C-alpha cells in the first residue's frame, strides 16, 4: 500500500465495514498503516473487504457481529484485541435505513432502527471503552447523519436514532476526555450507498432494484456544492479524526453534506 503512515502502528475496529462508508473507511485506514478489524453482520462481506486490504499489503481481520446484541458486541471487541493486540480507534458505523413518519411507523420498526443505529453505537463503545481507559488513550468516531441535524420527511426512526447518536457523542466526550479518549461524530448527507438506495426504495421514491442515476442527479441539486457525496468524503474525515492531527478535537459534530445543513 502507498501510505503516509498517518495511522501507522494503530489498530481500528470498524462496524458495518462490509459495504458503503464502512468499507471505504476500512480501506482508507489500512492505506494509512492501521490494522483493521472489519466487522459486519454479513461475515462474507466483512471477509471480502479484509481480503481487499490484504491484497493491497495491509493487515486486517474479518468478524461477524450484530451490534444490537450485547454478547456480539463484547465478543467482537475481545476478538479484535485477541487477534490484533488492542483497539486504538472505534468507528461505530453500522446502521440500517428506517423509513416512515411518527404517525404511521410500526413499533417493531422503531425498535429495530433504534436497536441498531443507537443502541448498537452505545454497545460498541461500551465494550471498547474499558480498554481505552486502561491505556489512557483512544478514539471513538460515531456515525450520525445530516438527518440528526435537520428535519427530513419520511425517515423518522432513522433521524431519531441519529439525533441520539449526536447527543451521546457529546456526553461521552465530556465523560471520557479526562481518560484520554476522544469522541466525535460524522453527519453525512446523501451519499450513494446500498443503505441510501434501500431507504429510497422503502419510501417509494424509487422502484426496487432501480437504476438510481437519474434520482441521484435530481437530489444533487439540493446541495450547495451541486453534487452528492462519495464514501471517500466520509473516509477522509474519519481519517483526520482518527489521526494525531485531531489530538485536541473531541465532542465535535461534523457535517459532511455539501453545505445542505447550512442552507
User: CA 220, CA 85: separation in Å to the nearest integer?
Assistant: 43
Active site residue 158: yes
Q: What is the pLDDT of residue 199?
A: 75
**Look-up of cell digits 432501480:** 210
Q: Positive or negative, the Cα torsion across 256, 193, 24, 21?
A: positive
Q: Positive or negative, the Cα torsion across 94, 100, 102, 104?
A: negative
Q: What is the pLDDT of residue 1?
A: 52
C-alpha cell at 192: 450513494
Domain ranges across the chain = 11-189+230-252
The CATH number fitting domain 11-189+230-252, selected from 3.30.1330.120, 2.60.40.1180, 2.60.120.650, 3.40.50.720: 3.40.50.720
- Among the listed residues 127, 158, 176, 254, the single catalytic one is 158
Mark residue 100 as left, alpha or beta (left: phi above 0; alpha: psi -120 to 50; beta: remaining): left
Q: What is the pLDDT of residues 120-146, one digit of tens each?
A: 999 999 999 999 999 999 999 999 999
Q: Could you give the percent of the chain with pLDDT greater than 90?
A: 87
Q: What's the mean pLDDT in 177-194?
A: 94
Q: What is the pLDDT of residues 6-61, one digit of tens each?
A: 999 999 999 999 999 999 999 999 999 999 999 999 999 999 999 999 999 999 99
Residue 205 has pLDDT above 90, yes or no: no
Put simply, whether the predicted model's pTM sits higher than 0.85 gets the answer yes
Q: How big is the CA angle at 116 (ends 131 and 121), to the nearest 5 degrees?
A: 30
Pairing of strands 35-40, 11-15: parallel
Nearest Cα neighbor of 16 from 140, 121, 166 is 121
C-alpha cell at 146: 445530516
Q: What is the pLDDT of residue 210?
A: 74
Contacts with 252 (C-beta within 8 Å, 6 or more apart), sequence order: 173, 184, 185
Q: Which helix (H) or strand (E) holds 37?
A: strand 35-40
Quote helix, strand, coil % in the chain, to nearest 5. 50, 15, 35
Residue 188 has pLDDT above 90, yes or no: yes
Q: Which residues pair with 13 in a beta bridge?
A: 37, 90
Amino acid at each position: 500500500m502507498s501510505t503516509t503512515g498517518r495511522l501507522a502502528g494503530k489498530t481500528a475496529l470498524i462496524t458495518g465495514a462490509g459495504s458503503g462508508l464502512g468499507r471505504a473507511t476500512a480501506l482508507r485506514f489500512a492505506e494509512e498503516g492501521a490494522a483493521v478489524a472489519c466487522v459486519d453482520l454479513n461475515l462474507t462481506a466483512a471477509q471480502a473487504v479484509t481480503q481487499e486490504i490484504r491484497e493491497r499489503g495491509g493487515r486486517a481481520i474479518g468478524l461477524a457481529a450484530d451490534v444490537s446484541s450485547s454478547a456480539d458486541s463484547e465478543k467482537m471487541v475481545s476478538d479484535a484485541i485477541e487477534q490484533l493486540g488492542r483497539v486504538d480507534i472505534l468507528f461505530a458505523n453500522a446502521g440500517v435505513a428506517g423509513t416512515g413518519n411518527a404517525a404511521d411507523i410500526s413499533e417493531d420498526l422503531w425498535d429495530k432502527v433504534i436497536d441498531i443505529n443507537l443502541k448498537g453505537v452505545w454497545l460498541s463503545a461500551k465494550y471498547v471503552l474499558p480498554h481505552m481507559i486502561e491505556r489512557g488513550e483512544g478514539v471513538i468516531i460515531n456515525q450520525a447523519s445530516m438527518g440528526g441535524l435537520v428535519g427530513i420527511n419520511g425517515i423518522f426512526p432513522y433521524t431519531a436514532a441519529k439525533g441520539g447518536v449526536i447527543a451521546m457523542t457529546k456526553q461521552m466526550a465530556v465523560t471520557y476526555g479526562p481518560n484520554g479518549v476522544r469522541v466525535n461524530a460524522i453527519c453525512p448527507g446523501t451519499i450513494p450507498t446500498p443503505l441510501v438506495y434501500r431507504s429510497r426504495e422503502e419510501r417509494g421514491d424509487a422502484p426496487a432494484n432501480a437504476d438510481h442515476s437519474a434520482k441521484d442527479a435530481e437530489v444533487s441539486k439540493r446541495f450547495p456544492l451541486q453534487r452528492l457525496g462519495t464514501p471517500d468524503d466520509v473516509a477522509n474525515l474519519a481519517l483526520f479524526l482518527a489521526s494525531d492531527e485531531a489530538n485536541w478535537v473531541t465532542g465535535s459534530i461534523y457535517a459532511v453534506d455539501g453545505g445542505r445543513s447550512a442552507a
